[in-house]
């Protein structure tokens, strides 16, 4: 049996709710790169300017370079996570407005909303599944100097960055589930003198950039039908990473497809089928009527073809004594293409000796 499925591009759907992102101007970014500072030194308040989108890459790159010069890796290998955003929401979703706990967590996510003015800053983190969690950073709960100070947060963090936050869980006055950022201090450091402390006194930072984004998040606008749109149809196809970032339905499709493929495999394993991996480069393109892609192998000085079907080698396995075989593999056909048909797609083929299609249900 052969069944083929080609990746399709679903109709345009409402973009993820990032209205707050596009409505909140990045007016907290510096207009010029900060000069390199000594580790632990306090930082001045950032200038309130609104750089154009063309300046975003340069400004963010300058921030990244400054962090490196200060000995602060903008892309750490790991951060001290203790749980996930989804787990915090599931466990503490019952908290009422103003209710706080003593439970300390470490979570990370992408910054999709940022308000960094005054002595109390708010940031919304989003995980890969779309769950969000608010973090609150107060000047009185952070060191007065160093890379985990509130001044550093205002200067260094931008929309789109991946951010780690450490603190206790509670609900804000308005009832929003939040992590109240606070550092884990080293032994001997006095929390009462937090305003006088710097990086040397911090064991676990209240916050840290887990990955610095060099480009801003895509903007959201409203089309003539009143729908929130982030990417055009062409951009969605050409920039899949942006489609996944801005559209929950695209992320759901990835997980749905993975679940379907896993279910197919488990079904075949339950029927004693053996999964094979047959050659992609073939000397003879067979098993279907299609125009192949042609390549050249230098070692043997011969032309080869990217397979147009997995049929031939699966049947050879059956001839060799493997009675039940299947493969979920990539197929390449050098023919027409459109928004719902790709020259490269996944296909499932299965073969069983002494049987036919009608015997499968049993």
Cβ atoms of residues 246 and 231 within 8 Å: yes
Helix (H, G, I), strand (E, B) or coil at 255: helix
**pLDDT reported for residue 44:** 52
Q: What is the distance, to the nearest Å, from the Cα of residue 286 to the centroid of all Cα atoms in its chain?
A: 39
Domain 19-211 has CATH 2.40.50.140: yes
Q: Which of 26, 23, 33, 22 is nearest to 48 (CA)?
A: 26
Considering the entire predicted model, what is its pTM? Answer: 0.74
Q: How far apart are CA 271 and CA 7, in angstroms?
A: 27
Overall size of the chain counted in residues: 362
Identify the residue whose tokens are 């951010």.
Answer: 163
Cβ atoms of residues 236 and 243 within 8 Å: yes
Rg of the chain over Cα atoms, rounded to whole angstroms, equals 27
Identify the residue whose tokens are 């960094």.
Answer: 116
Q: How far apart are CA 241 and CA 335, in angstroms?
A: 26
Q: How far apart are CA 155 and CA 116, in angstroms?
A: 9
> Where are the domains positioned within the chain?
2-10+249-359, 19-211
Q: Which of 141, 145, 166, 173 is nearest to 44 (CA)?
A: 145
Helix (H, G, I), strand (E, B) or coil at 350: strand
Name the fold adopted by 2-10+249-359: BirA Bifunctional Protein; domain 2 (3.30.930)
Q: How far apart are CA 297 and CA 317, in angstroms?
A: 25
Q: How far apart are CA 317 and CA 345, in angstroms?
A: 23
Report residue 257 as tokens: 């497809």
Q: How far apart are CA 188 and CA 29, in angstroms?
A: 35
Eight-state DSSP code of residue 16: P
pLDDT 10s per residue in the chain (362 long)? 444 444 443 444 444 333 333 333 333 443 333 444 444 445 555 555 555 557 899 999 999 999 999 999 999 999 999 999 999 999 999 999 999 999 999 999 999 999 988 899 999 999 988 899 999 999 988 888 888 889 999 999 999 999 999 999 999 999 999 999 999 888 877 776 777 777 888 889 999 999 999 998 888 777 777 777 788 888 888 888 888 888 888 999 999 999 999 999 999 999 999 999 999 999 988 888 899 999 999 999 999 999 999 999 999 999 999 999 999 999 999 998 887 788 999 999 999 999 888 877 66
Q: CA angle, corner 243, sides to 348 and 343, nearest 5?
A: 35
Please, which residues have CB within 8 angstroms of residue 353's CB and are 6 or more apart in sequence?
Answer: 318, 323, 324
Helix (H, G, I), strand (E, B) or coil at 315: helix
């Amino acid at each position: 049996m052969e069944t083929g499925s080609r990746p399709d591009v679903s109709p345009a759907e409402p973009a993820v709710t990032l209205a707050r992102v596009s409505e909140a101007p990045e007016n907290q970014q510096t207009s010029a790169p900060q000069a390199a500072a000594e580790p632990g030194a306090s930082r001045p308040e950032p200038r309130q300017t609104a750089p154009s989108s063309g300046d975003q890459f340069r400004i963010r790159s300058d921030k990244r370079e400054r962090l490196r010069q200060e000995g602060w890796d903008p892309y750490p290998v790991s951060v001290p996570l203790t749980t996930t955003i989804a787990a915090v929401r599931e466990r503490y979703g019952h908290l009422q407005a103003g209710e706080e706990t003593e439970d300390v967590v470490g979570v990370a996510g992408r910054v999709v909303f940022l308000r960094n003015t005054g002595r109390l800053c708010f940031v919304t983190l989003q995980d890969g599944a779309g769950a969000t969690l608010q973090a609150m950073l107060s000047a009185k709960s952070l060191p007065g100097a160093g890379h985990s100070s509130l001044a550093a947060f205002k200067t260094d963090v931008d929309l789109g960055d991946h951010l780690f936050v450490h603190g206790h869980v509670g609900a804000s006055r308005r009832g929003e589930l939040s992590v109240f950022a606070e550092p884990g201090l080293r032994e001997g450091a006095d929390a009462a003198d937090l305003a006088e402390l710097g990086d040397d006194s911090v064991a676990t930072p209240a916050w840290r950039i887990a990955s610095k984004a060099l480009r801003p998040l895509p903007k959201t606008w409203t089309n003539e039908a009143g729908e929130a749109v982030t990417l055009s149809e062409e951009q969605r196809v050409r920039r899949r990473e942006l489609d996944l970032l801005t559209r929950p339905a695209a992320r759901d499709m990835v997980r749905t497809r993975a679940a379907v493929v896993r279910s197919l495999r488990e079904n075949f394993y339950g029927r004693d089928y053996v999964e094979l991996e047959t050659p992609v480069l073939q000397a003879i393109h067979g098993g279907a009527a299609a125009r192949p892609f042609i390549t050249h192998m230098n070692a043997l000085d011969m032309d080869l073809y990217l397979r147009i079907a997995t049929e031939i080698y699966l049947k050879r396995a059956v001839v060799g004594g493997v009675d039940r075989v299947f493969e979920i593999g990539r197929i390449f056909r050098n023919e027409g293409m459109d928004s719902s048909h790709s020259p490269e797609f996944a296909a499932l083929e299965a073969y069983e000796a002494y049987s036919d299609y009608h015997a499968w249900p049993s």
